[in-house]
Amino acid sequence: MTVLECGITDQMRVAELILQDQEFFPRLLDLFRMCEDLENVDGLHMIFRLVKGIILLNSPQIFDRIFGDEFILDIIGSLEYDPEVPQVQRHRAFLKEHVVFKEAIPIKDSSVLSKIHQTYRVGYVKDVILPRILDEATIASLNSIIHANNAAVISLLKDDASFIQELFARMRSTSTSTESKRELVLFLHEFCSLSKSLQMVQQLRLFRDLAGEGIFDIITDVLQSQDRKLVSAGADILILFLNQDPNLLRSYVIQQEGNSLLGLLVKGMITDFGEDMHCQFLEIIRILVDSYSTSGSQKDTIIEIFYEKHLDQLIDVIASSCPPKSNSWTVIKSSGFGSRVESHAATKPEILSNICELLCFCVIHHLYRIKCYFLANNAIEKILFLTCRREKFLVVAAVRFMRTIISRNDEHLLRHIVKNNLVKPIIDAFIENGNRYNMLHSGVLELLEYIRKENLKSLIIYIVDSFWNQLQKFEHLGSIQAFKIKYEQSMENCDTKNTATMVDPRKKIEERALEKEEEEYFNEDSDEEDSASHLPNTRSQNARMSLPNGTKVSYSSFRPGSGGLVDYEDDDDDEDYNPPPRKSESSTENDELIVFSKTKRKSTAAADSKEEVHELSKKQKLDQRVNDVKVASSATACSTASHTDTASGREPSPPAASHATDTNGVLDEHDAENETAGPQSYNCVPDAADTRQGCGDDSPSIPASNSSPERVVTGKDVTGSEPYSVR
């Protein structure tokens, strides 16, 4: 012990002297046996201190000597006499009588057997005999010995092809007893566990060889066993493979014979084995469906199998495990799960929590598939049944699940939440929790804070409109206050947008009204032109008209601008001017209308077919009513009737008329009163004086047969009123 109190140099010097003396350990252990035979307790205590000091020198060469088959048992025996322990420890008896080395497969290599025994004994010294005495450096050295021995044993066994083949042949054999199979599975589990001592390349090669030998078929059978120890061993083996190369297990699962393995994993996750084995199954499933570490074809196939065949089972466990009380019980029954409540009533809360955790994982990693599942099966409502459980950590798990869904910010899911009122269970749990400051309280406030910061307007408006009466008593909390302010801001923004959208339609309506007024005017002209176009003497564009003096003249003799609103000085030069058609003018207008449009500066608008029929029928009725009215014009008065001329087909001479007719058969009123009579009379009044000035006596008068004018020329607008004769 004095040496241990010296420096490291002195300790190394002592270790060197011990190794140089080849007879040191044989004589020391002979002295130990002598003292033990004589029951010399003081001598045994001194030998204990000496052996403990030698071990604490932490010399690898000394460890090789004392942990060899020649000295190991006597070294352990000397450590039984600890002076600080009143009773003598029986470590040798335990190792000889109770520790039994079982060979599931006979190992023929003696060096492998020696290392296996040495590894166990070194571990026993480290963990059982001297755990309180060893320092960290010595423990690390002992662990290195164990690790090196394991690597050597696994390397020797994996290189023995006959050993691996015999192992799997016995496990598949039907003649192998149940107990033997159990030992083989436990040996396989230890063999795979010890493979972690190998280098990564060697470990990967070993696992690929085991997968090729059919280890996953063996594990599938093991997971169906009623022995919990075997099931746990099988799950551990799968985790080892997934940690090394997940694609090995995925490749097996997507095969037809591997589908049952995934089902067994789901079943194991919801089965109570009395331990935390369901956590192992959760980890396996989570690695299998992890989209980030899966290749394309494998990812799609495994996820499809999981969602189509196994996800319903997990949702059903949650829905059927809720307490049959109050409204939640009614919802469960109405959802079709009432008959299964009793079968899952005893489900451990930890299992339900693991299922909820797996669902959150699925929402994060493959949103599209689980979104389709949620929308088709209304699964979110079933999962929120967890808020009815008494265990607060399950209620918190439900809140965390909702938080995960909302964090994905998917418009379809958010709309589904609002439509089905799915925040209600969360708010109800928060209200029921009251002012207790716990994980549930913090979780709900954090959820509301997230919705506010992300400005999810649909949820903000929905929550305040639906639950503000309940949340109002928590308004003293900063998160609730900020949430209400955000709601008010959202409503103000909505009102502003609505006001803006209301102003624009009004402007559009007013503009359309003005356009419609103009369109009606042009439609009126168009209808009158249609009626005029059917006259016998205007059926051809090149037809000539008779003037009062008997001269024949064609339409081309008229000035194009004589019927315009404004008579420009250069109109004489624009005889060939053809104004472009209006955008609303139909491409199917006949040629006669095109000719008439050249005589007017205003282009006619094509009316809708229904409006044309309506206007035409209206004009025909009006024509019948004014058919017998005689139109006359006088230079000094408007009281002379021309009924005789109209009936006989003769036209009045232009000098006798104070109001000239335009080319459409509509009387142009020159009276000043009519210029301000209204929009229609104002728009349809061409300058009659200019017309007479430009045409003189050549201005024609179109017969009114079959196309009576709408207004009786009396100096007043009487359109739409009863026509009368002027005496």
Segment 392-435, tens digit of pLDDT? 999 999 999 999 999 999 999 999 999 999 999 999 999 999 99
Longest dimension (CA), the chain: 169
Does residue 318 lie in a domain region?
A: no
Does residue 607 lie in a domain region?
A: yes
The distance in angstroms from the start CA to the end CA of the chain is 152
pLDDT number for residue 341: 38
75-89, 522-536, 681-695: which is most confident? 75-89
Between 242-256, 335-349, 432-446, 484-498, the lowest mean confidence (pLDDT) is in 335-349
Nearest to 194 by CA among 207, 182, 208, 181: 207
Q: Which two tokens stand for residue 88?
A: 């003598």
- For residues 56 and 84, membership in a common domain is answered with yes
Q: Which two tokens stand for residue 562?
A: 């004589």
Q: What sign does the CA torsion over 202, 204, 208, 210 have?
A: positive
pLDDT number for residue 362: 94
Q: How confident is the model at residue 492 (pLDDT cuts 50, 70, 90)?
A: confident
Q: Domain boundary residue among 270, 290, 310?
A: 290
Name the 3-class secondary structure at 546: strand
Place of tokens 């085991």: 210
Q: CB of 91 within 8 A of CB of 73?
A: no
- For residues 184 and 62, membership in a common domain is answered with no
- For residues 153 and 241, membership in a common domain is answered with no
Helices 439-453 and 392-407 pack at an angle, to 10 degrees, of 10
Does residue 280 lie in a domain region?
A: yes
Q: Residue 661: what are its φ and ψ, rounded to 5°? A: -90, 145
Q: CB of 385 within 8 A of CB of 318?
A: yes
- For residues 127 and 251, membership in a common domain is answered with no
DSSP string for residues in 471-540: HGGGTTSHHHHHHHHHHHHHHHHHHHHHHHHHHHHHHHHHHHHHHHHHHHHHHHHHHHHHHHHTSGGGSS
pLDDT number for residue 85: 86
pLDDT over 90 for what percent of the chain?
Answer: 42
Name the 3-class secondary structure at 502: helix
Place of tokens 């755990």: 131
Determine the Cα–Cα distance for residues 351 and 280; give it in Å rounded to an integer.
11
- For residues 117 and 209, membership in a common domain is answered with no
- Strands (E) across 93-220 are located at none
Does residue 243 lie in a domain region?
A: yes
Determine the Cα–Cα distance for residues 588 and 554; give it in Å rounded to an integer.
25
pLDDT number for residue 290: 86
Determine the Cα–Cα distance for residues 600 and 614; give it in Å rounded to an integer.
25
pLDDT digits (tens, 9 = 90+) for 128-186: 999 888 999 999 999 999 999 999 999 999 888 888 889 999 999 888 888 899 999 99
pLDDT number for residue 691: 39
Q: Domain boundary residue among 255, 270, 290?
A: 290
Category of 109 on φ-ψ map: left (φ > 0), alpha (ψ -120 to 50) or beta: beta
Place of tokens 């010296």: 6
Q: How confident is the model at residue 607 (pLDDT cuts 50, 70, 90)?
A: very low
Q: Which two tokens stand for residue 203?
A: 């470990």
Determine the Cα–Cα distance for residues 672 and 688; give it in Å rounded to an integer.
12
- For residues 122 and 183, membership in a common domain is answered with no
Determine the Cα–Cα distance for residues 356 and 278; give it in Å rounded to an integer.
13
Determine the Cα–Cα distance for residues 179 and 720; give it in Å rounded to an integer.
112
Taking the model in full, what pTM does it have?
Answer: 0.63
Does residue 257 lie in a domain region?
A: yes
pLDDT digits (tens, 9 = 90+) for 100-117: 888 888 888 888 898 999
Between 183-192, 473-482, 592-601, the lowest mean confidence (pLDDT) is in 592-601
- For residues 19 and 146, membership in a common domain is answered with yes
Between 54-63, 215-224, 317-326, the lowest mean confidence (pLDDT) is in 317-326
pLDDT digits (tens, 9 = 90+) for 282-309: 999 999 988 776 666 677 888 889 999 9
Quick one: how far is CA 176 from the chain centroid? Answer: 52
Determine the Cα–Cα distance for residues 218 and 518; give it in Å rounded to an integer.
89
Determine the Cα–Cα distance for residues 307 and 700; give it in Å rounded to an integer.
88
Determine the Cα–Cα distance for residues 126 and 118; give it in Å rounded to an integer.
12
Q: CA angle at residue 41 from 35 to 45, to 5 degrees?
A: 95
Overall number of domains in the chain? 3
pLDDT digits (tens, 9 = 90+) for 377-399: 889 999 999 999 999 999 999 99
pLDDT number for residue 449: 95
pLDDT digits (tens, 9 = 90+) for 540-579: 444 444 444 444 444 444 444 444 444 444 444 444 445 5
Does residue 482 lie in a domain region?
A: no
Does residue 218 lie in a domain region?
A: yes
Averaged over 11-19, what is the pLDDT? 88
Average pLDDT value for the chain: 74
Does residue 370 lie in a domain region?
A: no
- For residues 139 and 245, membership in a common domain is answered with no
Q: CB of 641 within 8 A of CB of 631?
A: yes
Rg (CA), the chain: 53
- For residues 50 and 108, membership in a common domain is answered with yes
pLDDT number for residue 512: 63
Task: Report in angstroms the alpha-carbon separations of 629 from 591, 616, 711, 724.
Answer: 31, 20, 11, 7
Question: Does position 93 have pLDDT exceeding 70, yes or no?
Answer: yes
Q: CB of 162 within 8 A of CB of 170?
A: no
Range of the domain at 23: 3-158
Q: Domain boundary residue among 124, 158, 192?
A: 158
Q: CB of 304 within 8 A of CB of 296?
A: no
DSSP string for residues in 87-128: S---HHHIIIII-----SS----HHHHHHHHHHHHHHHIIII
- For residues 153 and 214, membership in a common domain is answered with no
Higher confidence at residue 613 or residue 86? Answer: 86
Helices 228-244 and 200-213 pack at an angle, to 10 degrees, of 130
pLDDT number for residue 239: 95
Determine the Cα–Cα distance for residues 649 and 630; give it in Å rounded to an integer.
12
pLDDT number for residue 4: 61
Determine the Cα–Cα distance for residues 417 and 458; give it in Å rounded to an integer.
10
pLDDT number for residue 152: 92
Give 544's strand partners.
554
Between 116-120, 150-154, 513-517, the lowest mean confidence (pLDDT) is in 513-517
Place of tokens 């016998």: 536
pLDDT number for residue 716: 42
Q: How confident is the model at residue 516 (pLDDT cuts 50, 70, 90)?
A: low
Nearest to 71 by CA among 141, 24, 136: 24
Q: CB of 125 within 8 A of CB of 174?
A: no
> 655: which DSSP letter?
G
- For residues 546 and 586, membership in a common domain is answered with yes
> Which of 678-681's residues contact partners 24+ apart within 8 Å by CB, and which partners?
678/717, 679/517, 679/521, 680/520, 680/521, 680/524, 680/719, 681/717
Task: Report in angstroms the alpha-carbon separations of 313 from 316, 323, 352, 622.
Answer: 5, 19, 12, 81
Averaged over 324-335, what is the pLDDT? 43
pLDDT digits (tens, 9 = 90+) for 28-85: 999 999 999 998 999 999 999 999 999 999 999 999 999 988 899 999 999 999 998 8
Place of tokens 């009395």: 274
pLDDT number for residue 258: 65
Between 194-208, 225-239, 382-396, 698-712, the lowest mean confidence (pLDDT) is in 698-712
Q: CB of 658 within 8 A of CB of 633?
A: yes
pLDDT number for residue 644: 37
Between 29-43, 60-74, 188-202, 625-639, the lowest mean confidence (pLDDT) is in 625-639
Q: CB of 695 within 8 A of CB of 563?
A: no
- For residues 571 and 598, membership in a common domain is answered with yes
